[in-house]
Amino acid sequence: MTLLLPVSVVSALVLMVIGVPQTLQPSLETSTLEGIVNNNSSNSQTINLGPVASLESIKLLGSNIGGFFGSNSGHPFENPTGLSNMYEMFLMLIIPLSFPIAYARLMGKGRGIAILLAMLIGFGTLIVIATAVESGPLLLETRFGSFGSILFDTISLSTNTGAANSALAGMSPEATISFFLAMFVQAIPGAVGTGMMTMIIFVLLTLFIVGLMVGKTPEFMSMKIVPKDIKLAVYIFLLHPAIILIPTVIALGTGNAQAIVGNEVTPMGYTQTLYEYTSSAANNGSDYFGASADTPFWNYSTGIVMFRGRYLPLALMLAMDGSFTMKDRKEAIEPIKTQGPLFITVLITLTFLLTALTFFPFIILGPFSI
């Protein structure tokens, strides 16, 4: 609170300067340029206003999707110009990327830089995938262009913010694949706090696999990694796909997905269903369905997935934290160094490889087939 509150206030002031409104006035009546509208005798228009800048600030800093307007960051009052678009992307990245820097100050510069570079390289890979094919102008904001829209949405989903400045349905299949990968990994850079924790899980799995390859007992922060730690790390890793895929199968098997996408489930319809539960498990709230998913089944099922996706991994991470707090830390040379180019390369490779092996069949059925 002592950090987030002042940063939110300052960022809200910056948003006000670059054109985002901040007022307690609920609305403004103004005359239109087109004269009579909606076939009535009135030539005025009601423009909704409010404390947009302050809400937008904490929304982006705190990895929350809830925008002031229905179209979220695509609304000109939430994101009026290209400058505001760049600044809002900065707000989404600043806190998740600050955790590796804080980790570096606590555990050593080399270790923190290794994790930071792994996050940045992984994130850069997502951008390359998303921009491999330019998305068409359909459903994209012309004031941001294709690249500005894709970059904003990639950052938003990589940080589990969920805010969008354009309709996700207008993106290319390559961009959609990039969005899925961001939500599957949840650590490049991930949400505030949880992104760093998830990356630590991948670090532990990497140390375990490398330890098996070279025949050394892996250590993390000068503490031995025991079988219990690896089991918890594997449980945490497998929990995310289970929370996503089981409800997806249930929705398709019970016909609730077909009620929205049609009786014949096309690759696009399957992608929409998979995306609904992926975004819920990642706690970012973005979707493809829109208002058509406002039914009891989807509200209850996505709510349950959201709850489990948030708290079950945290519970297992706390159990792992308890395991490490009971260990003695010894000052000795690490058997497997957690810094340097080699470790960064192996960490990134295994992170994407483990994620791809888990979700690849489902990606093939969805965005790869669109």
Between 277 and 137, where is the model more confident? 277
Q: What is the DSSP letter of 189?
A: S
pLDDT at 105 over 70: yes
Does residue 65 sit within a domain?
no
What is the tens place of the pLDDT at every residue in 201-214? 999 999 999 999 98
Helices 173-185 and 109-130 sit at what angle, rounded to 10 degrees?
Answer: 150
pLDDT at 284: 86
Reported pTM: 0.91
Report pLDDT for 164. 87
Tokens of 137: 């102008």
**Quick one: pLDDT at residue 216?**
86
- Is pLDDT above 90 for 139? no
pLDDT band at 279, cuts 50/70/90? Answer: very high
Q: How confident is the model at residue 160, as a pLDDT? A: 92
The answer to whether residue 62 is domain-embedded is no
239 in a domain, yes or no? yes
User: Please, what is the average pLDDT of the chain?
Assistant: 88
Assess if residue 226 is contained within a domain.
yes
Distance between CA atoms of residues 30 and 44, nearest Å: 5
Count of structural domains, the chain? 1
In this structure, is residue 167 part of a structural domain?
no
DSSP-assigned states of every residue in 268-308: HHHHHHHHHHHHHHTT----SSGGGG-SHHHHHHHHHHHHH
Domain membership of residue 198 (yes or no) is: yes
Residue 210 domain-assigned? yes
Query: Which residue type does 131 have?
Result: T
Alpha-carbon distances of 292 from 59, 260, 271, 287, rounded to whole Å: 25, 7, 15, 11
Within a domain: residue 201?
yes
With H, G, I as helix, E, B as strand and everything else as coil, classify residue 167: coil
**Domain containing residue 314:** 194-369
